[in-house]
Structure 1
Amino acid sequence: MKNYISFLTLFLFVFSYAQKETYHIKNIKLNDEKSHYGVSYFKDGKVFFTSFLLDDKNKIRLTKEKIPVFSLFSGDMDAEGEISNVEPFKSSEIYEFNCSSASFSPDKKYIYITTNYVNKGDDYKKNNKIRNLRLERGEYVPGRGWVNFKTLPFCDDGYSYGHPAVSPDGAYLYFTANIPEARGPTDVFRVRILGGNEYSEIENIGREINSNRKDMFPFVSKDNILYFSSDRAGGYKGLDVYYCQILEDGTFSKPKLMPKPINSAEDDFGFMLLDDEKSGYFSSTRYGGQGEDDIYYFTKD
């Protein structure tokens, strides 16, 4: 019976995507010559995204090695997908390095982020080196905001972990990592969320998804479809967005390439759907954009 249900789920998935869908995209007004990418939806029209952190002179903040610093920002989304009333996620004085790629628990009590920042109080001279990325979880406390950030216990300082994506049911955390279990430079992994900042063993989600190239930026939609980006052979060029059904038994259908104009001849990544399942955002370095990475809003018929 379980195999039958998985087969039925896969059949319905293939049938639904066999219907021709038309995507309409636009480069939103938020974009400029700076990099913007990685939109995630919070609640009540509030979204988060990643961009360069600015200093007091409105210039891109640099580390002591003259490397630009990325940080999270929040903004309000309108009915046309435009993002306004932009604010820094936290005080810039907290960060020495980067903070990006937010994802939220279904109850919105917890936020997962990618970071390699150090606190201002740390001995920077002794730690003045390139730091691998890690995942952290913070919790929302009324009146205080996002606090109590802790590195996820499975993160090994010798490797990088990023692009967190919580499944809609809150059962799994998907992410990108370059740990030894990866087939390529980066693979998509997941862990089961056990509660209390405890997690299962890391699971490579398999050869069906992960190639010998870069596989990254996972996102799971409300109808249990996994979207991710890969520069594997057979795409248009650079990173392309793929999708596959998560089956009842936890396995995955064969990934399929998203059509144009979602994909282009440049890097396309960070695909996400809003709650209506008919609109969302993705990021791209395609020709005609405003900056290095731009955020695009899309709707589909």
Structure 2
Amino acid sequence: MKFKNYILVCIALMISASSFSQQGKQKKADTLFNKFSFVKAAEVYNELIANNYNKDYATRQLADCYAYLRDPNNASRYYKNVVKQEKVPIEYYYKYAQSLRGMKKYDESQEWLQRFIDSGGVVNANDFSKDVNFITSVFGAKQQYFLDKVYFNTKFSDFGAFEQNGKVYFTSSRDEGVAVKRLYGWNEQPFLDIYVTDAKTKRNVDHSSKLKGDVNSIYHDGPVTITKDGLTMYFSRNNYKDQVEVKDKKGLTNMKIYRATLRDSIWTDVEDLSINGDEFSTQHAALNSDDTKLYFTSDRPGGYGGSDIWVVNIYPDGTLRDLQNVGKVVNTESAEGFPFINNEGTLFFSSDGHTGLGLLDIFGTIKGDNDEIVDVINLGVPVNSNKDDFAFTMNQNGITGYFSSNRPGGRGDDDIYAFHRVPTLQVEGVVTDAINSNPVPNAIITLFDDKGNKIAYMETDKNGFYQINIDRNKDYKIVASQNKYIDDYRNFTSKNVQTELITINANLLLNPKPDVVKLAELNTIYFDYDKHNIREDAALELDKIVKLMMVDYPEMVIRIESHTDSRGALTYNDKLSIDRANSTYEYLISKGIKPERITAHEGFGERRLTNGCEDGAKCEETDHQLNRRTQFIVVKME
């Protein structure tokens, strides 16, 4: 009996020791997790699962490790088990949905997102669920970006390429060729440094291409941006001061943006910026086209959640003032980062909070009439994928540039991708009144292909302006129409146009349709024999003309032509007809018609008879009356 009890005690002690051992492993795993050492933490959580110790908890933690490592395949594998657990927090439905999206399993992802919502979860205002046709629309959109070969990627993390003056600056953990390597616990790769190489290089880049000077440190450095004059660099770096890594209250080291100056081909005089802080991260610097604004990423207080994009003014003395968040159109409750501003002032950024194809996607912004950001647009494939796509930059030509991604098919972890852009081509123009050169609003613009098929139409705006996207290498016909005008059209082609060209101009002129009913009211007026005064019946007709010109056609321009019958001498009749033209002119002017709207008032005597009542002919008085007249010729009209 004593021996039996001894055995039981030994077994109990062994179980207890094993339990204490597993508790120690879980504590170790959690410590590694909280220090963002996800690779090592995942190894220990796997051991706990294999030993069936606190398996549900370890599985949740392991899935999160893979999610942080941007590995949706493994994350999805373990989240699939997590969502089967009893009383699992509903946030894991959302995490599972996100990991499925990272694997292009969009339908299944949508199902789990809906389950998250049905369980009481609240999705981001910009979540991909808002547009069930989003995936179809993005993959079906006309491709603008095309990928080009990059020769300097490695098996390590390479990202954040920025080109200036024929050089490419980029960030990499490739510390190959160095005897002593310091590894970053998050992903067990060397710390990041900044490298520079020729933009046209076709060879790999080793440690000898590290940026010279004081920018690279023993911790993370990069990515960078440089002012247009090439003399000032803004770059990200761990909070590192006086050879000491500065930690926040949670024991974590945040990021800061530093400024360096180029002196004698060396980057030096590294300066900590006023926008930084020890308790939050500030990183991903970007400059606007004239280097007066600094955009950056930060999780500082006052944002919308996760990390946001902020902007601050750069004053001539180098001080940074007027800090502000770029707003909720861009920023969401999730993570936004890696801003970039092109020459036209368009902000590009990465986000996992806006409608996307996978994890981080790259977006561009759309501005309104007052230059404010009113919407964002997903750049689509091939820039975006079902993995992380970020660090978008565009070169000065507006056509080429770089972005980074951890998509399959690369050389390593994060890879740099070069692109060239074939911009959407547009036909645009202004529709103008041919008579008065005023714009014609609400004119219908119809676009036809070379076979006469109608492929697009729109109305001109209040300024007579229109703009329609077209395909390259095609022939077109464009027609402008409006019910008051005669149609105008132009044939044009988009064949053999330069890649840089984004606009073909096609202005159109519309001539007004004569209004038969209105113009019929311009009746001929008649005069008594040998008289030039305005008769009462003639005054009534002239008043109609005044109304027509003042009210109905305020831009109408006319010419006055007066005549006589054949009785009397030729020279006398010439003078009489001129007197009649003058009387008519003076009457219209007295009623408010501006002189410049009557181009001429002439007399033609008896030279333009309307019938055969010439000298010597036997004619009734009513026939002669038809020749004693003033007529009105429309020169221009609205």
Aligned to 1:224: 345
Aligned to 2:256: 134
Residue 299 of structure 1: CA displacement?
1.0
1:264 aligns with 2:396: no
Equivalent of residue 318 in structure 2, options 192, 197, 209: 197
Which whole-Å CA distance do the structure 2 matches of 1:181 and 1:83 have between them?
45
Aligned to 1:30: 152
1:159 aligns with 2:280: yes
Asked whether the equivalents of residues 173 and 189 of structure 2 are also in contact (C-alpha less than 8 Å), the reply is no
Which whole-Å CA distance do the structure 2 matches of 1:125 and 1:208 have between them?
34
With normalisation by structure 2, the TM-score equals: 0.41
Equivalent of residue 410 in structure 2, options 286, 289, 293: 289
Aligned to 2:437: none
Aligned to 1:235: 356
Letter of the structure 1 residue corresponding to residue 235 of structure 2: I
Higher helix share: 2
Asked whether the equivalents of residues 75 and 84 of structure 1 are also in contact (C-alpha less than 8 Å), the reply is no
Which whole-Å CA distance do the structure 1 matches of 2:391 and 2:305 have between them?
19
Assess, with a 3 A threshold, how the Cα gap between structure 1 residues 124 and 262 changes in structure 2: closer, same or farther.
Answer: closer
Which whole-Å CA distance do the structure 2 matches of 1:271 and 1:286 have between them?
15
Question: Residues 1-301 of structure 1 correspond to what in structure 2 (within 5 A)?
Answer: 20-43=142-165, 45-52=166-173, 54=175, 57=178, 60-62=181-183, 68-78=190-200, 87-90=209-212, 95-116=217-238, 118=240, 122=243, 130-141=252-263, 143=264, 145-246=266-367, 249=370, 251-301=372-422
Residue 92 of structure 1: CA displacement?
8.6
Assess, with a 3 A threshold, how the Cα gap between structure 1 residues 125 and 180 changes in structure 2: closer, same or farther.
Answer: closer
Which whole-Å CA distance do the structure 2 matches of 1:73 and 1:293 have between them?
15
Letter of the structure 2 residue corresponding to residue 154 of structure 1: I
SS of equivalent residue, structure 2 residue 222: strand
| Percent of paired sites with the same residue | 26
Larger radius of gyration: 2
State the Cα deviation string for residues 203-252 of structure 1 (Å, max 9, x = none). Answer: 00000110111000000001111100000142101000000145674521
Asked whether the equivalents of residues 63 and 96 of structure 1 are also in contact (C-alpha less than 8 Å), the reply is no
Which whole-Å CA distance do the structure 1 matches of 2:216 and 2:169 have between them?
18
Which whole-Å CA distance do the structure 1 matches of 2:363 and 2:234 have between them?
23
Asked whether the equivalents of residues 52 and 61 of structure 1 are also in contact (C-alpha less than 8 Å), the reply is no
Residue 101 of structure 1: CA displacement?
0.9
Assess, with a 3 A threshold, how the Cα gap between structure 1 residues 59 and 241 changes in structure 2: closer, same or farther.
Answer: farther
Assess, with a 3 A threshold, how the Cα gap between structure 1 residues 122 and 152 changes in structure 2: closer, same or farther.
Answer: same
Higher strand share: 1
Assess, with a 3 A threshold, how the Cα gap between structure 1 residues 194 and 57 changes in structure 2: closer, same or farther.
Answer: closer
Assess, with a 3 A threshold, how the Cα gap between structure 1 residues 255 and 149 changes in structure 2: closer, same or farther.
Answer: same
Letter of the structure 1 residue corresponding to residue 344 of structure 2: D
Residue 182 of structure 1: CA displacement?
1.6
Which whole-Å CA distance do the structure 2 matches of 1:274 and 1:83 have between them?
21
Which whole-Å CA distance do the structure 2 matches of 1:163 and 1:214 have between them?
13
Which whole-Å CA distance do the structure 2 matches of 1:105 and 1:48 have between them?
13
The worse-fitting range, judged by mean Cα deviation, of 170-179 and 229-238 is: 229-238
Which whole-Å CA distance do the structure 1 matches of 2:247 and 2:347 have between them?
41
- In structure 2, list runs of 5 or more residues that go unmatched: 1-140, 423-638
SS of equivalent residue, structure 1 residue 277: coil
Assess, with a 3 A threshold, how the Cα gap between structure 1 residues 179 and 268 changes in structure 2: closer, same or farther.
Answer: same
Which whole-Å CA distance do the structure 2 matches of 1:64 and 1:34 have between them?
14
Across the aligned residues of Structure 1 and Structure 2, the Cα RMSD in angstroms comes to 2.8
Q: How many residues of Structure 1 are paired with residues of Structure 2 in the alignment?
A: 277
Residue 103 of structure 1: CA displacement?
0.6
SS of equivalent residue, structure 1 residue 232: coil
Assess, with a 3 A threshold, how the Cα gap between structure 1 residues 123 and 186 changes in structure 2: closer, same or farther.
Answer: closer
Letter of the structure 2 residue corresponding to residue 149 of structure 1: V
Which whole-Å CA distance do the structure 2 matches of 1:51 and 1:277 have between them?
25
Residue 160 of structure 1: CA displacement?
0.4
- In structure 1, list runs of 5 or more residues that go unmatched: 1-18
Which whole-Å CA distance do the structure 2 matches of 1:170 and 1:295 have between them?
25
Which whole-Å CA distance do the structure 2 matches of 1:135 and 1:112 have between them?
7
Asked whether the equivalents of residues 281 and 296 of structure 1 are also in contact (C-alpha less than 8 Å), the reply is yes
